[in-house]
Amino acid sequence: MPTAPDAAAYPVDALNRVKRCNDRAAYDHATVHALLDGGMLCHVAWVLDGQPLCTPTFYWRDGHTLYWHGSSASRMLRQLAQGQPACLTVTQLDSLVLARSAYNHSADYRSVMCFGQARLLEDPQAKAQALVAMVERLFPGRDATLRPPTAQEIKATAVIAMDIERASAKLRDAGVVDDEADHALPIWAERLPVHTVLGEPEPCSRLAEGLRRPADLAGWRPGRALEEALREAQPQA
């Protein structure tokens, strides 16, 4: 899925250029943002005293800026707050591929890597807006119904922002790809689709009497693909 020549795209250089199977690469904003908006769990790679580390966390996107949050005491956030290059990755696994040889076993997937300079949100208003967006990204309209955060809760939470300076997506949707000579072998081959779907809601056992599930959670219904629900929530947020 290469980038269309006329599509708005992120710059490509040695940092983000896909080298292996580069015919699967995409750098355009539409592809990169769609992959980001269909996920909520990322891995942030960073370096501490020369030691590479990779931390899983939730994220959200606003335009060309990515945000993630954590405890103010987190060593990752303390380190990135000093202004450090970071790499944020998101992957969607779409299938497992069983071929007729071990070499051709594979997986169908969609992944994206985003590069930029991480920075701590120190402006109180920007931080407050980001914390609202963290909830609104998933559940539009919900923040207005919640108990306001306390000063201590805000103090205990740090928010990191990273403008996307470079990005690359890589996608495989080929299913079984075997050597032509292997097709005649008496060996089973197949594609196993993988889906992440929402389960049945489990209400808190200590809900106040008479409460009903809010109508604005209707999009988060059992059996629906998580990615679909996330994509629907993004433009509302």
Residue-by-residue pLDDT tens, the chain, 237 positions: 444 444 699 999 999 999 998 999 999 999 999 999 999 999 999 888 888 999 999 999 999 999 999 887 788 777 777 778 999 999 999 999 999 999 999 999 999 999 999 999 989 899 999 999 999 999 999 999 999 999 899 988 999 999 999 999 999 999 999 999 999 999 999 999 999 999 999 999 999 999 999 999 999 999 999 999 999 998 776
- Residue 7 covered by a domain: no
What the block records as the tokens of 23 is 């015919």
Question: Does residue 61 form part of some domain?
Answer: yes
CA distance 53 to 49: 10
Asked if 29 contacts 100 with a C-beta cutoff of 8 angstroms, the reply is no
Q: Is residue 146 part of a domain?
A: yes
Q: What's the pTM?
A: 0.90
Identify the pLDDT of residue 6.
Answer: 47
> Structurally, how many domains does the chain consist of?
1
Within a domain: residue 230? yes
Q: Which structural domain range is residue 173 located in?
A: 22-236
Residue 1, domain member (yes or no): no
Give the DSSP letter of residue 197. B
For residue 34, give the CATH number of its domain.
Answer: 2.30.110.10
Q: What is the 3-state composition of the chain as percent helix, strand, coil, each rounded to the nearest 5? A: 25, 35, 40
Contact residues for 174 (Cβ-Cβ < 8 A; gap 6+): 97, 106, 108
Residue 54 maps to a domain: yes
* CA 57 and chain centroid, separation: 9
In this structure, is residue 175 part of a structural domain? yes
